[in-house]
Structure 1
Amino acid sequence: MDEPIVVGIDIGTTKICTLVARVEGERNLRILGVGIEPSQGIRKGTIVDLAAASQSIARSVEKAQRTSGLEITSALVSLAGANVSSVNSRGVVGITGGVIDEDDVARALEAAQAVAIPHNREIIHVIQRGFIVDGQDGVRSPIGMHGYRLEVEAHIITAAASTVENLRQCVQAAGVEVTQFVLNPLASAEVVLSETERQMGVVVCDIGGGTTDMAIYIDGDIWHTMVLAVGGNHITSDIAHGLRLSIPQAEEIKKTYGHAIELEISDEETFSVRAFGEDLPVQVSRKELAHIIEARVAEIFELVLQEIKRSGYDGLLPAGMVLTGGSSLLPAMRNLASQVMGLPVRLARPENLVGLTDQLNSPAYSTSVGLLYWALLMSETMPVHSRRSSRSGAGGTSVDLEKLKEFLKRLLP
């Protein structure tokens, strides 16, 4: 029981997923507890009803506690919503001793944070992209190098302070402290991207129920992040309007008969539905359903493409796009993405999991599992303890310097 325990709570528009895992070996996780609960009080990734949202979170946490036999006191929490934005910044400091140490790196990152951020926004991540020592760029780790001037290029992610505070309040109402907020696409990227893709240049696109989250990685670092307020719920809503159905009916039909490319469906295929105002079920062409879905999905990918072009990195993505999230499960989604984006596209899901993983091998849980990998970097500070044990902390080990460096590299503050 000496291995650290890590906890992540993925708060999405359609579901809340709490995962508890034990760290085994270097980077292996054994899933001990899973708590999946439908979301309430959350729309497009933001809280619209505090009481309903905190009840959903509490139920999810309780399920995870019950299956793992562990008490959850703190966790990493996912963050999405259209209020998230990012900016690239540069910090410059002089080196007094001639040799660069951790303090100099920390000062440079602090200098990079001195950008004009409105008072109603909160910094979520400051991620270093690279260092420049005395004009020499492309330095990955400057500690121990000789120099007189250190520059750092940082990617700063901010969110509306009120949104972050509401989310924190909901989680605290469920009896859990927030250790750190992690942006959805960054969590997903931990699970779905290979090291080669990160180096070459890739965009990870996580299409959930209420939002589409994207992050661009080049040279192994994060260069751009964005959250778009469209997702799978918009497809469901279009089906409900187009076929005059209730939202639950439309969601069921989307999952059972949905297809993202109209031309791939034959004219003969039909299914029966009971629309509003009809006494008996009516036959609907599956081609008509695909027509409704294709229009919306193409629009989502056009918005993603527009955002990539706006970032200016559209010519730097030879590894293309990695598609994940619950809505990416729609048949032909990958093909349509490739057509619209003009990039190679692959569908990704969490892999190599051990423990209670029956439901988790799906693109819908990439963010949830990714949170645990982020938590790995912080495992020494996770105060989660077992009811069966009298210890007050999860990991009594001293902080590993290499892990600390890796952690500082990934997320500051």
Structure 2
Amino acid sequence: MGNNDVIVSLDIGTSKVRVIIGEMNKGSLNIIGVGTADSVGIKKGAIVDIDQTVQSIRQAVDHAERMVGITIEDVYVGISGNHIELEVGHGIVAVSSEDREIGDVDIDRVIQASKVIPLTPDREIIDVVPKQFMVDGLNNINDPSGMIGIRLEVETTIITGAKTIIHNLVRTIEKAGLKIAGFILMPLATSQVALSKDEMNLGVALIDMGEGVTTISVYEQGGLAKMSVLPIGGEYITNDISIGLRTQLDIAERVKIKYGIASIEEASEDVRFKVARIGSNVEKEFSQKDIAYIIEPRVREMFELVQQEIYRMGYTNELAGGYVLTGGVVAMNGILSIAQEEFRSSVRISMPDYIGVRDPSYTSGVGLILYASKRFKKTSSQVKQAVSTAPSKQSTRKSKGVSPFERVKNWFSEFI
């Protein structure tokens, strides 16, 4: 990528749709625009109502556009969920040039060769991530470009997903008037912000706790080894508060955000608030300690389920790199101390260190930009200067004429 490339990420979550505009300048990222909107039509991270989701995407896009004064055309989209599977791929080719210097063509050929794996008709390859290259038997090569050799091999992680879910996501984004520059597996994007190279080499569990789901990804030897998605998240805490305080869900959500704390020990009896109760015109007063007694048991249960899932994935011994937490749920006070007690290992919270997005809920969106800037070398211009007299985007955006199914085929051949 050249200097001053503008990259836009789209993170469709259970509670919020986030659009982040980033500018890459000589390898450094500047966040120049952020747009958010409440998610409608999303349940447990999956689209259940396309039209409502389209409206949420348009609102987030328009918010970001107005902040920067540009028109967003292409977006990099994060994808995750239980339908994602990781496969192991292996490719081998002969170096094509006469002087035996390995070039981009050879690297593309060997990666394409690794994609030859058996797939059921209902699955599609989303991405192919090289783990290591080998030149004439010499392994652990990150980038063989420019090296001399006769035989080039690669070991890859092949990411596949359900065709139906992918096509519905394509249709939703196109109806919002956007082009998809590429799909990126969310844990790979999140790791760009949340994890260090040393952690990924030693072995680390990245726990992304969202409103509807919690994504667990384990990294070993510098790459993604396994991932899993649990249908638990911040909405469980909101439901518990709603039941415990006998109040509406939207009020319970506001209480959680403003007064919520995960540790009873750290909660204050002096912090007090009033809540309108269901079936009564009288507000009742509660303390922060009262809701801590509701939140802490649920948070402990969520961490126990995460640990059980990591054990089920085959990691019964302690991971040397410990646990890294991110996502909107971990912004709650007291989460870290509870996680340290439950995991009995090194635990830290990660968030982006950029102005305007210093919150764990933005980790994935910023990670999408960083991953795209490193991975996709060819990109079309994503934005153009908006004309001040142009009509509203919501009324003028139209889906492009190419069918979503043709575009999916084209993306996978172009970007992988």
State TM-score, norm by structure 1: 0.83
**3-state SS of the aligned residue for 1:22?**
strand
Distance 1:68 1:145, change over 3 A: same
- Does residue 363 of the first structure (1) align with residue 360 of the second (2)? yes
Preserved CA contact (<8 Å) 1:5 1:382: no
* Residue aligning to 1:60: 60
What are the superposed Cα offsets for residues 338-368 of structure 1, whole Å, 9 maximum, x if unpaired? 22223211111111x3xxx33x111111111
Preserved CA contact (<8 Å) 2:114 2:155: yes
Distance 1:364 1:153, change over 3 A: same
Aligned-partner Cα distance in 2 for 1:179–1:242:
45
Preserved CA contact (<8 Å) 2:336 2:348: yes
* Residue aligning to 2:12: 11
**3-state SS of the aligned residue for 1:262?**
coil
Distance 1:129 1:303, change over 3 A: farther
State the one-letter code of the partner of 1:93. I
State the one-letter code of the partner of 1:157. I
Q: How far off is 1:325 after superposition? A: 0.9
More divergent stretch after superposition (137-146 vs 248-257): 137-146
Structure 1's consecutive aligned runs of 4 or more residues displaced over 6 angstroms after TM superposition are: 96-99, 266-269
Matches within 5 A, 1:72-221: 72-87=72-87, 89-93=88-92, 95=94, 102-132=104-134, 137-143=139-145, 144-146=147-149, 148=151, 151-221=153-223
Preserved CA contact (<8 Å) 2:35 2:64: yes
What are the superposed Cα offsets for residues 107-149 of structure 1, whole Å, 9 maximum, x if unpaired? 443343333332222222211222455665434344525455x
Matches within 5 A, 1:9-408: 9-25=10-26, 27-87=27-87, 89-93=88-92, 95=94, 102-132=104-134, 137-143=139-145, 144-146=147-149, 148=151, 151-265=153-267, 271-284=273-286, 286-313=288-315, 315=317, 317-351=319-353, 353=354, 357-358=355-356, 360-377=357-374, 378=376, 380-387=378-385
State the one-letter code of the partner of 1:381. T
Q: How far off is 1:170 after superposition? A: 1.5
More divergent stretch after superposition (51-60 vs 111-120): 111-120
What are the superposed Cα offsets for residues 191-219 of structure 1, whole Å, 9 maximum, x if unpaired? 12223222222222111111212322222
Preserved CA contact (<8 Å) 1:127 1:222: no
Q: How many residues matched? A: 384
Distance 1:293 1:156, change over 3 A: farther
Extract unaligned runs of 5+ from structure 2. Answer: 388-413
What are the superposed Cα offsets for residues 263-284 of structure 1, whole Å, 9 maximum, x if unpaired? 4447787644222223322344
State the one-letter code of the partner of 1:382. S
**3-state SS of the aligned residue for 2:127?**
strand
Q: How far off is 1:58 after superposition? A: 1.0
Distance 1:302 1:123, change over 3 A: farther
Preserved CA contact (<8 Å) 1:91 1:110: no
What are the superposed Cα offsets for residues 46-71 of structure 1, whole Å, 9 maximum, x if unpaired? 11111110011111111212221211
**3-state SS of the aligned residue for 1:224?**
strand
Overall identity of the aligned pairs, in %: 34
Preserved CA contact (<8 Å) 1:72 1:384: yes
State the one-letter code of the partner of 2:22. A
Aligned-partner Cα distance in 1 for 2:43–2:49:
9
Distance 1:94 1:195, change over 3 A: closer
Question: What is the RMSD computed on CA atoms of the aligned residues?
Answer: 2.8
Preserved CA contact (<8 Å) 1:7 1:375: no
State the one-letter code of the partner of 1:68. V
Preserved CA contact (<8 Å) 1:132 1:152: yes
Q: How far off is 1:83 after superposition? A: 2.5
More divergent stretch after superposition (62-71 vs 127-136): 127-136
Aligned-partner Cα distance in 2 for 1:240–1:257:
14
Q: How far off is 1:300 after superposition? A: 2.2
Extract unaligned runs of 5+ from structure 1. Answer: 390-410
**3-state SS of the aligned residue for 1:20?**
strand
Aligned-partner Cα distance in 1 for 2:25–2:118:
42
**3-state SS of the aligned residue for 2:235?**
helix
